[in-house]
């Protein structure tokens, strides 16, 4: 091989080795965890047509511009001559935060809208995404989307209502009244305050789409009363013996002239509130709970109390059924007015009525005299009742002694009657026992007679049966001799020995001795004594 060929081979080898080295050293870019790679295509360098992406839109493959898709962590190889490379940090939303996303690319929204429906990477219009991002890590291309992280807005514990967004915490005892800043055609909601409220819970609220008034529900107490603040341990209002203020110009309370021209001051307390279905209308009409109290509750209390109280004379406000009538009428009017405003009323109480001394004192003195008279009468009634009681006690003791004596007498009579009855019972019992014993003896005697007759009759029947048997047997053998012979033969032992011996006429007795000797065995014969 010539030197020139070797040189060409070496150059080719160097070139082949330099391509991977160039790609690894120049083209390689490493994307760490928590980052993404944003790419912008610069177009062909020397040859080829440069196709530009539309302004305000993502660049498609082969177009000059920023690509929508981000490359994740790892090694990527893009030549910096053709590609502009940039590391983009992930969007991190921590607990208690939300992410409000604004899309910067796409078609403008029609009809001047500013909220875009859809997810990141799936939008066609510019504007603020209606859906917010919750806690988490997101890969977002900053060329097309801007994410604004908003912290949680917390509800103050002493607030009756407040307007919040972001992560909205609606605690127990509250509801959320939603105000839409724009129409939402997907769920058919219009711009403005919505009738449907949010129950207690945690909600991600897009501050560019909605605002939430966190409204307390339940009942509150509102009172109008005279000023009784303490100054150095004593009340600021001077009081008389009955505890009524003596100052002519009372501060606080509801002041009005009575029907007969006297100045009356009343303390009034209202217990009112909102239910969940009333909260939306209240916010729409009045703004918040404090405005309801200041613009509705307090003015209505003063107006109703003054109008009703001016119809009654001062005396009627102090005593009589007219005072109760005034209370009932005031509560009824208060409930009717607040019902038209969709506000609930539980109580409306006239707590105290301050009557001028020149009206109150004569009436009170008269009432005190009446009460003293009634007290004396009651004391007299009590004394009489106590005397009657003591007399009744003595009567009770006397009657108790009488009852004890009568009881002892009745007990003695009952004991005597019992003993008499016991004696009579014992005598009757003895008579019955004797009669029974006599009858028993008679029965035993009759039984013995019957038994003896039965035994005799039985023996008689047995003997008759035996005689009948013999009679029948004799009749069966024909003659008594035959029956006797049969009985004799039948009763002989089976091993009997019969021996015949001959005796001549007149020699029976003489030969009997010899015959017995022959008949009796020798070993059983009696031994005759020897003769001396």
189 with 144, same domain? Answer: yes
Judged against a pLDDT cut of 70, whether residue 375 lies above it is answered with yes
Judged against a pLDDT cut of 70, whether residue 320 lies above it is answered with no
123 with 197, same domain? Answer: yes
Judged against a pLDDT cut of 50, whether residue 209 lies above it is answered with yes
Q: State the Cα–Cα distance between residues 41 and 59, nearest whole angstrom.
A: 8
Whether 373 is in a domain gets the answer no
Whether 41 is in a domain gets the answer yes
79 with 97, same domain? Answer: no
When mean pLDDT is compared across 5-19, 45-59, 473-487, the lowest value belongs to: 5-19
Whether the CB-CB separation of 42 and 64 falls below 8 Å is answered with: yes
- Answer with the one of 89, 112, 127 that is the final residue of a domain: 89
Q: State the Cα–Cα distance between residues 150 and 100, nearest whole angstrom.
A: 7
**What's the pLDDT at 100?**
92
3-class DSSP assignment, residue 532: coil
Whether 168 is in a domain gets the answer yes
Report the percent of the chain where pLDDT is more than 70: 79
Average pLDDT for residues 339-353, to the nearest whole number? 87
Average pLDDT for residues 409-431, to the nearest whole number? 87
DSSP assignments along 81-136, one per residue: TTEEEEEEEPEEE-TTEEEEEEE-SSBPPGGG--EE-S-TT---B-EEESSPB-SE
If one counts the domains in the chain, the total is: 3
Q: What is the pLDDT of residues 59-114, one digit of tens each?
A: 888 889 999 999 999 999 888 888 899 999 999 999 888 999 999 998 888 876 78
Task: Enter the pTM of the model.
Answer: 0.53
99 with 200, same domain? Answer: yes
Whether 66 is in a domain gets the answer yes
Domain of residue 80, residue span: 29-89
Whether 145 is in a domain gets the answer yes
68 with 116, same domain? Answer: no
**What's the pLDDT at 140?**
92
* Domain CATH number, residue 305: 3.30.479.30
Is the pLDDT higher at 158 or at 6?
6
Judged against a pLDDT cut of 60, whether residue 413 lies above it is answered with yes
**What's the pLDDT at 17?**
53
269 with 304, same domain? Answer: yes
**What's the pLDDT at 35?**
95
């Amino acid at each position: 091989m010539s030197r020139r060929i070797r040189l060409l081979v070496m150059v080719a080898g160097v070139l082949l080795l330099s391509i991977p080295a160039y790609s690894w050293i120049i083209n390689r870019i490493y994307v760490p965890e928590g980052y993404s790679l944003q790419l912008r295509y610069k177009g062909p360098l020397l040859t080829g047509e440069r196709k530009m992406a539309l302004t305000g839109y993502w660049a498609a493959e082969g177009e000059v511009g920023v690509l929508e898709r981000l490359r994740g962590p790892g090694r990527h190889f893009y030549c910096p001559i053709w590609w502009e490379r940039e590391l983009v940090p992930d969007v991190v939303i921590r607990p208690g935060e939300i992410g409000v996303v604004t899309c910067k690319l796409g078609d403008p929204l029609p009809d001047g809208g500013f909220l875009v429906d859809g997810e990141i990477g799936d939008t066609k219009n510019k504007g603020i995404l209606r859906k917010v991002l919750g806690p988490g890590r997101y890969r977002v291309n900053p060329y097309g989307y801007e994410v604004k992280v908003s912290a949680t807005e917390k509800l103050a514990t002493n607030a009756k209502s407040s307007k919040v967004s972001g992560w909205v915490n609606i605690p127990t005892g509250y509801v959320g009244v939603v105000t839409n800043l724009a129409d939402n055609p997907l769920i058919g909601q219009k711009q403005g305050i919505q009738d449907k409220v949010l129950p207690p819970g945690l909600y991600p609220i897009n501050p560019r789409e909605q605002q939430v008034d966190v409204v307390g529900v339940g009942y509150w107490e509102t009172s109008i009363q005279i000023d009784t603040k303490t100054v150095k341990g004593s009340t600021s209002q001077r009081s008389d013996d009955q505890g009524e203020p003596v100052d002519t110009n009372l501060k606080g309370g509801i002041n009005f002239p009575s029907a007969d021209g006297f100045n009356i001051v009343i303390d009034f307390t209202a217990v009112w509130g909102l239910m969940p279905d009333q909260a939306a209308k209240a916010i729409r009409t009045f703004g918040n709970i404090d405005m309801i109290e200041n613009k509705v509750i307090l003015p209505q209390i003063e107006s109703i109390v003054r109008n009703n109280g001016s119809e009654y004379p001062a005396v009627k406000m102090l005593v009589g059924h007219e005072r109760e009538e005034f209370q009932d009428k005031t509560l009824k009017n208060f409930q009717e007015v607040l019902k038209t405003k969709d506000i609930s009323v539980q109580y409306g109480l006239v707590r105290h009525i301050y009557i001028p001394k020149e009206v109150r004192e004569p009436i009170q003195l008269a009432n005190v005299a009446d009460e003293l008279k009634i007290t004396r009468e009651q004391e007299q009634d009590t004394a009489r009742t106590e005397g009657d009681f003591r007399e009744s006690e003595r009567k009770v003791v006397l009657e108790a002694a009488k009852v004890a004596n009568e009881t002892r007498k009745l007990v003695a009579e009952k004991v005597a009657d019992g003993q008499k009855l016991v004696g009579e019972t014992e005598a009757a019992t003895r008579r019955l026992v004797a009669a029974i014993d006599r009858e028993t003896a008679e029965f035993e005697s009759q039984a013995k007679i019957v038994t003896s007759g039965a035994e005799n009759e039985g023996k008689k029947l047995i003997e008759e049966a035996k005689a009948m048997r013999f009679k029948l047997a004799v009749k069966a053998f024909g003659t008594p001799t035959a029956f006797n012979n049969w009985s004799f033969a039948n009763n002989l032992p089976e091993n009997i020995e019969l021996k015949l011996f001959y005796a001549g006429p007149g020699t029976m007795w003489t030969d009997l001795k010899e015959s017995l000797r022959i008949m009796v065995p020798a070993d059983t014969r009696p031994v005759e004594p020897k003769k001396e």
